[in-house]
Structures are given as structure tokens and as C-alpha cells.
Amino acid sequence: MKTATNRWFEVDKEGLSKLIERRGKAFVIFELVQNAWDSPGATRVTVDLTYLGRDKVKLVVTDDSPEGFSDLRHAFTLFAPSAKKGDPSLRGRFNFGEKLVLAICDRATVTSTTGQVAFESDGTRKRTRARTKSGTIFEATVRMTRGEMDEALIQARKLLAPVDVVTVVNDKTLERRHPDRSLAEVFLLTDVAGPDGVLKRRYNMAVVELHVVSRGERATLYELGIPVVELGDDPFHINVKQKVPLSLERDGVPPAYLRDLRGAVLDQARELISETAAAGKWTQDAIEGSEDPSAVKELIAKRFGQAVIADPSDVEGTKLAASRGYTVIPGGAFTSDAWDKIRKAGVRPAGQVTPSPRPFHPDGAPLVYITDVDYQAMRLAANTLHMAGEYAGVEVTVLFTKTPGWNFRAAYGKTSEKTGIVTYNLALLDEAFWESPARQFELIVHELGHHAGGHLDEAYHKEICRIAGRAIAAAQETGAWAVAGAGETE
């Protein structure tokens, strides 16, 4: 008497169907079409969906491959060795797709050159002698509402059909979209079986096709023409012409993979990236994955224009950069890995581009001060002392240096609430400056205003207006624009 034995495990078809419902019913078409496209010698693939009522749809997918379905056991055997596993240019790898489709079917048949397998509504299956002369026909009754069918058809028209395979969905031939750019020699992770048949991930050289996203579309990552996952605000649909390292349910890829892929897009298609696209979130990955500093620099220029990095070691220099028209990129705008690439691309901190005058800063380079100055400088000092006391309400010390390498005409250092130091750099005060009392007046007001704050502080702008207003009022009372008895009018 034979003892009944139990298999190690069983698959609950209804449980599996509930698990995959969240993927959307379009995956049914994608799984079957990808197999049809991969069939050797196939030149035509057709998909037909017909609504039967009562949330049921008739689905028929056919191809004209001369060989047909090579092994019908693969239609119902999970994870059997697949001929596709060792070839990264073919789409399948788990021998899993047809089983996911069958999980939401009431009945189905797979008919090919090697015979037919019928999956009955009572959960049984049987082999029959029916066969095709060429190609494979998958026919099934699928649990699908009218709305789900309509959505599946919309998604099906997003397929990027191979140029050598005519693909027809409900009597409409899919448009063969030619890429706007093909990227060659992109080193990307892929799934491929080794000599032992074990599926492993390794890097392989791939061709990547880019299709500019049209209005109303959402950027999508494709695996050999099959939509895999929506990308977000990327400017391109990205069609990878080899296996993409997908999760078991084919609904996600590793973050590092997207980083490498977007980096290659930036490096090889930078001129196709608009200023709007350059501001997208996808650029974080693109910068991190880029291998070309010039591409990163061009992207930053498109996004920010003339830019510097916010410099916490030189806050005043950062404000100075903003006042001179630079876009200051805040430290939180990018990850540390992206910042490494941005700095290597030559985008510099504000303190290196517009360093603040720092003779009063503990870390600042010391200046060499001079006391032997001419009458013009003495008069400038007298006017500064007068305006500071009369109109700014502070007591200042005036110093002079003659340092061509110090890129400032003057600097102000606040030493207390009521005192400060004004330093003039005679090396940068040209003849036109000395000939114009107005320019001297402007520089004095500019420096004294810094007692209240930096260039971008509202208090600074209020202070220069207050000082200038009081000085003008005084000049109007005397009828002269000169200060400190200089005896000149403007």
C-alpha cells in the first residue's frame, strides 16, 4: 500500500492573485508581450482584449515565432531553469511572469508548436494534442473590470516596440518611437546567470535609449521596451537594452542603479537637458553618478546661473556674492556625495569667489598699514570722522593700507556698539575717485552703514539711507555738499 506524500509547499492561487492586484492589470499585457518579443524569429505580436461583462475580459496574445513555446512545462513551473537567464539582452529571468498572469485568470490555454496546456476553472490543468504550425497563442478569461481594461490598454500603448517586431494592440499598431539619443557603453548592473545557472547581478556594458518626455507623459524606466517603474521629473524615458535589476515582482530597482543610470544620462546627453529639467529632483542622482566634471558644471550653470556655494566660514563673503548677482547654493541643496562632484566640477565657495574684507577677523590675513599719506587721504579721513560722528552716531578710527592683492577699496570693522574701524586701500582708489566728492561720499556712507549689518541685511540698507539722509539735510541747510569744511561743492 502506497503512502500518500505531500509536496514541500503549495501555492495558493487566490492568495497570489491578491498579492499582485496592486500592480495594476496592465502587467498582464507586459508579461505576455515581453515573452512574445523574446520568441526567436518573431516579427508580429498581437494583443486583443474584449470586455465580456461581469468584470471579465477575454485576453488573446499571439506571436508568429517559428519555434513557438519551446517547453510547455515552463507555463506552469515556477523558477524552472530559463533559457533567458544567461542572456542579458532577453527580458525574462525567473520563469515567473506567466504564473503571475494565470493567478488572475479564471481559465487559460497556452497553445504552441509543441502542444497545448489548458488551465481549467476548477484549478486543474491538462495537456492536449492541439498545436500551432508556428508561434504561440495565449488565450484566457481574466478578472478585470471595464475600467481596469481601459487603463490596461492605455498603459499598453506606452510599450516601446522593437523596430523589427510589429506590435498590435486591439487592432492599433504601436508607433515605433525612435530614440532622441542612444547612449553607448554604459556600465550598468544586470541580472545574468553564470555557468552554474545561478542568477547573479554583475555589471555589463549596455546601450541606453532616451526618449524626450512629451507633454502629459511621466518619465518611465523601460527594460527592453517594457515599462518598469515611473521615474518622476526626469526629462527622458530611459529604455535600457538589457535586463534591469528588478525586484521579484518587477516593480522596483535599487537606488544605486538609478544613480548610475542618471549619471550616464547627464554625461552623454547634457545638451538635451533644459533649464527647467536641470532643476528637477532627478539631478541629485545624476550628479552623484556622473563621471564627467564638465557635465556637472554645465548642469549647475543651467540650474543656478552664475553660482557659488554658501560658505559658513565667510558669512559676509556669502552675502557679498549674493549682492553681486551670484546665486548662492545652500548647503542643504545636495547630498555630501553630490557636493563632492560639484566641487570637483569647479563650483567654489563664496569665500573664495567674493571673500569678505577680513583685516579684523582672527583668521584674516594681516594688512600692512601706512601712516605717511597725502593730503587727499587726510581729507578723506577727516570727512569719514566727521560723517561718522555727526550722521552715523559712532566713533571710528581711520586706517590706510596700500595692498593691491587685497580686493577691496575699503572695509569696516565694528569694535563695540558705538565704535568701529574704517580701513581704506589706497592701491584701489584711482584718480577718478579722488576727483569726485560724490564717489568719496558714496564710499564713506557704504562703509559706515556696515556698523548696522552686512550687505543683505535690512538694517544695513536702512542705515545707509539714514546716514545719507541726515548728511543731505545738513548740506541743504548750509547750501554746500562738502563735509568737514572741505570747501567743495558738487
Strand order from edge to edge, sheet including 369-370:
369-370, 395-401, 419-425, 410-414
How much of the chain, in percent, has pLDDT values that exceed 70? 82
In a domain, 3, yes or no: no
139/247 same-domain check: no
Digit-coded pLDDT (tens) for 47-101: 999 999 999 999 999 999 998 776 666 554 443 445 554 455 555 544 555 667 8
Cell numbers given for 300: 549647475
Question: In terms of pLDDT, which residue wins out, 355 or 391?
Answer: 391
In a domain, 6, yes or no: no
Q: Which domain holds residue 258?
A: 181-274
Residues contacting residue 136 through CB under 8 Å, at least 6 positions apart? 36, 39, 62, 63, 65, 68, 69, 110, 111, 112, 113
Question: In terms of pLDDT, which residue wins out, 364 or 174?
Answer: 174
242/293 same-domain check: no
33/162 same-domain check: yes
117/78 same-domain check: yes
- Residue 356 confidence (pLDDT) above 90: no
Digit-coded pLDDT (tens) for 218-238: 999 999 999 989 999 999 999
Digit-coded pLDDT (tens) for 267-291: 999 999 999 999 999 999 999 999 9
Q: How far apart are CA 268 and CA 288, in angstroms?
A: 15
- Residue 201 confidence (pLDDT) above 90: no
192/220 same-domain check: yes
In a domain, 93, yes or no: yes
- Residue 485 confidence (pLDDT) above 50: no
Contact 45, 33 (CB under 8 A): yes
99/158 same-domain check: yes
Give me the CATH number covering residue 87. 3.30.565.10
346/375 same-domain check: no
Q: Domain ends where: 296, 322, 353?
A: 353
pLDDT the model gives residue 78 = 40
257/185 same-domain check: yes
Mean pLDDT of the region 200-209: 89
Give the torsion through C-alpha atoms of 71, 73, 79, 83, to 10 deg: 0
Question: In terms of pLDDT, which residue wins out, 487 or 405?
Answer: 405
Coil, helix or strand at residue 136:
strand
CA distances from 106 to 142, 195, 242, 302, 459 (A): 6, 39, 33, 54, 75
- Residue 10 confidence (pLDDT) above 70: no
Give me the CATH number covering residue 425. 3.30.2010
192/102 same-domain check: no
Q: How many CB atoms lie within 10 A of CB 49?
A: 21
Mean of per-residue pLDDT scores for the chain? 85
Element (H, E) at 172: strand 172-173
In a domain, 226, yes or no: yes
393/414 same-domain check: yes
Cell numbers given for 482: 562738502
pLDDT tier for residue 355 given thresholds of 50, 70 and 90: confident
In a domain, 362, yes or no: no
In a domain, 8, yes or no: no
pTM of the model: 0.73
How much of the chain, in percent, has pLDDT values that exceed 90? 55
Residues contacting residue 285 through CB under 8 Å, at least 6 positions apart? 255, 258, 259, 262, 263
CA distances from 91 to 157, 309, 456 (A): 18, 44, 57
pLDDT the model gives residue 88 = 55
294/151 same-domain check: no
In a domain, 35, yes or no: yes
Digit-coded pLDDT (tens) for 379-435: 999 999 999 999 999 999 999 999 888 888 999 988 899 999 999 999 999 999 999
Q: Domain ends where: 137, 157, 173?
A: 173
Q: How far apart are CA 116 and CA 128, in angstroms?
A: 5
pLDDT the model gives residue 413 = 86
pLDDT the model gives residue 191 = 79
In a domain, 4, yes or no: no
Q: Domain ends where: 353, 379, 406?
A: 353
Digit-coded pLDDT (tens) for 94-145: 455 566 788 888 898 989 988 998 888 887 888 888 899 999 999 999 999 9
- Residue 487 confidence (pLDDT) above 50: no
94/134 same-domain check: yes
pLDDT the model gives residue 415 = 86
Number of domains in the chain: 4
